[in-house]
Amino acid sequence: MEYVSLGRTGLKVSRLCLGTMNFGPFTTEEDSFAIMDKALELGIQFFDTANVYGWKMGEGITENILGRWFAQGGGRREKVVLATKVFGRMGEGPNDRRLSAFHIRQAVEGSLRRMQTEYIDLYQFHHIDRETPWEEIWQALEVLVQQGKVLYAGSSNFAGWQIAQAQGEAKARHFMGLVSEQSLYNLKDRMIELEVIPACRAFGLGIIPWSPLAGGLLGGVLKKTEGGRRAREDRQKDIEKYRPQLEQYEAFCAELGEQPADVALAWMLHNPAITSPIIGPRVMDQLTGALRALEIKLDADALKRLDEIWPGPGGEAPEAYAW
CATH number, domain containing residue 295:
3.20.20.100
Mean pLDDT of all residues belonging to the chain: 96
For residues 157-181, average pLDDT:
98
Query: Among the options 3, 53, 249, 321, which is catalytic?
Result: 53
In a domain, 279, yes or no: yes
Could you please report the per-residue DSSP string of 131-150?
A: TS-HHHHHHHHHHHHHHTSE
Q: How, if at all, do strands 120-125 and 178-182 pair?
A: unpaired
In a domain, 246, yes or no: no
**By CB neighbour count within 10 A (0-12 exposed, 13-18 middle, 19+ buried), where does 251 fall?**
exposed
Predicted pLDDT at 215:
93
Predicted pLDDT at 228:
56
For the segment 103-134, what is each residue's pLDDT rounded down to a tens digit? 999 999 999 999 999 999 999 999 999 999 99
Predicted pLDDT at 234:
75
Peptide bond just before 318 cis, omega within 30 deg: yes
For the segment 31-68, what is each residue's pLDDT rounded down to a tens digit? 999 999 999 999 999 999 999 999 999 999 999 999 99
Q: Evaluate if residue 149 carries a pLDDT over 90.
A: yes
In a domain, 290, yes or no: yes
Q: Evaluate if residue 232 carries a pLDDT over 80.
A: no
In a domain, 314, yes or no: no
Closest to 158 in 3D by CA, of 187, 188, 122, 191: 191
**Can 152 be counted among the known catalytic residues?**
no
Predicted pLDDT at 230:
61
Q: Evaluate if residue 7 carries a pLDDT over 60.
A: yes
In a domain, 318, yes or no: no
Name the residue range of residue 32's domain: 3-215+260-299
In a domain, 25, yes or no: yes
In a domain, 255, yes or no: no
What's the number of domains the chain is made of?
1
In a domain, 245, yes or no: no
User: How does residue 307 score in pLDDT terms, banded at 50, 70 and 90?
Assistant: very high
